Structure 1
């Protein structure tokens, strides 16, 4: 009798375990991991004493100073093939547009004009550069030219301050910021709104109608969305998304930091941007479907204006 109990004991233990497992099944969990995207991001930093153009991989590593000049270098934009950048610099006494290769070599002045040129953006077909300049007006206007500096054409003709032009993916339109006069104080331009026009300057249309200054607008790679920065209802600088026609405006970041200068990843899944406070600005990226944010720079200086390199 004692022997039978001993023999049955292992089977009773196994049977009990099976029942226990059936009664309390473990829930299945789907773990989704958002990995850091691949690619290269250019950005501005004064970590070496003055503003220079740097590149890093999209995980914040392999940082390299490309412009490496004693002057201020600013406002970079990639060529569609990712082999060159256009930027502006005051190294020749006034702000001019320059090209350089993706490794920082062969830096050449392409504007060669006594006025000041700012914030260039390379067209998606690689043939033109849109930029702002004060060459014909004390307030900045928007111009376009060929990549060799020829055929400079003025696109805006008004008394308003215009800035931050960039192209639609099909290069048929240009989106930009226009500073509007306060009707109660015509001497002061306090409101910046996002406008869009055809690439020849025609059919100008206002897209945003919100308080405060909105700027830095850029199209998503598929042309369906526009990202920009502006003031929230709580008077905080945040990133916003809207449809290409200005509809369905949403606050993307909605935090206490100052967020600005968005740039889309080539696959449209991430946006790189500047975030921080006056004592410390850094480059961050945000994943659009999860709102997961990753900080890429941590150097105790200004790190800002990221631009994703085309793939």
Structure 2
């Protein structure tokens, strides 16, 4: 695979991750407004908050919402008039980080909930997206295009002490923390194909986790640290897979005619929520790990992306 082709594929995936919207603005998170999308019955035994970005109609930019998984009620957190995407919460749900193009390029923002305005943490003219809070709430991992290729970086909650973790002349994207915060899983095409890798939180000891000719992406570590959910394009559409870290075994969890993306685990590890797109529709589903069944969580908006499930 050529570098040009790899870069094009990385941006194709980024377009899926960002849900394809490019614009800029300021946000208002002063209120958590209950929204009017379809919400089905709460999942059996589920709890916490499922955050996501959604385009409520085809001509409206993305805003951030969350569903109270115990009640099934949905609330809107941002209404900026532009694109707020890729939300992630602190463990106690008091703080949210997200990406927004309020200043032309995408930057990382932080807001204190429920009544805080977005504080801009990055100021590069390059896109900086996919923020993920460390389990102890002290660091933000994110991806930046400042070097020309996407790299994984970390910074403090105030935007200081920025550390570049990857130095390869390739695309490194979609970092996600291990439950204990000691490692990050991420996507890279450093060996040609897009595969999953892990590294220590300081960027050392990089290990390749998947090895195939397919396109692996969007890794999410299970709460007990034993498995990683991810998506892979091994046919016409991306589908949901599970990697067992002890054995290296990869198991397909979905086999649908829709494109699956944005997986995230429930805090108790019982469910993996994901987005399904196809035939002009978009919805959030949840895969029950024990039964192998998928359930509808919500639908009714034009597009969904960037899921994050917290207590």
TM-score by length of 2: 0.81
1:204 aligns to 2:206 (yes or no): yes
- Matched residue, 1:72: 83
Aligned mate of 1:214, from 213, 216, 220? 216
- Matched residue, 2:120: 109
Alpha-carbon distance, 1:84 to partner: 1.2
1:247-269 deviations in Å (ceiling 9; x for gaps)? 12100112222111110001000
Aligned mate of 1:157, from 131, 149, 167? 167
Moved more, 218-227 or 173-182: 173-182
1:147 aligns to 2:148 (yes or no): no
Aligned mate of 1:138, from 140, 148, 161? 148
1:195 aligns to 2:206 (yes or no): no
Instruction: Rate the CA distance shift 1:181–1:173 in 2: closer, same or farther, 3 A.
Output: closer
Structure 2 unaligned blocks of 5 or more: 1-42
1:89-115 deviations in Å (ceiling 9; x for gaps)? 011222111112343632111223333
Alpha-carbon distance, 1:301 to partner: 0.7
1:214-241 deviations in Å (ceiling 9; x for gaps)? 1110110110111000123x44311111
- Matched residue, 1:277: 278
TM-score by length of 1: 0.81
SS in 1 for 2:290: coil
- Matched residue, 2:9: none
- Matched residue, 1:170: 180
Alpha-carbon distance, 1:61 to partner: 3.4
1:19-76 deviations in Å (ceiling 9; x for gaps)? xxxxxxxxxxxxxxx7251221111111051111111122783222212101211111
- Matched residue, 2:262: 261
Provide the rounded CA distance (Å) in 2 between the counterparts of 1:55 and 1:287.
20
Indicate conservation of the 8 Å contact 1:212/1:231, yes or no: yes
Alpha-carbon distance, 1:181 to partner: 6.0
Provide the rounded CA distance (Å) in 2 between the counterparts of 1:54 and 1:176.
25
Number of corresponding residues: 267
Provide the rounded CA distance (Å) in 2 between the counterparts of 1:40 and 1:200.
29
Indicate conservation of the 8 Å contact 1:66/1:104, yes or no: no
* Root-mean-square deviation (Å): 1.8
Rg larger for: 1
Alpha-carbon distance, 1:305 to partner: 2.5
Provide the rounded CA distance (Å) in 1 between the counterparts of 2:190 and 2:278.
26
Q: Please list, as runs of the form range in 1=range in 2, the aligned pairs for 1:1-311 lying within 5 A after superposition.
A: 35=44, 37-47=46-56, 49-58=60-69, 61-103=72-114, 105-135=116-146, 137-180=147-190, 182=192, 191-232=193-234, 234-244=235-245, 247-277=248-278, 279-309=280-310, 311=311
Structure 1: which 4+ aligned runs deviate by more than 6 Å?
Answer: none
Structure 1 unaligned blocks of 5 or more: 1-33, 183-190
Indicate conservation of the 8 Å contact 1:75/1:119, yes or no: yes
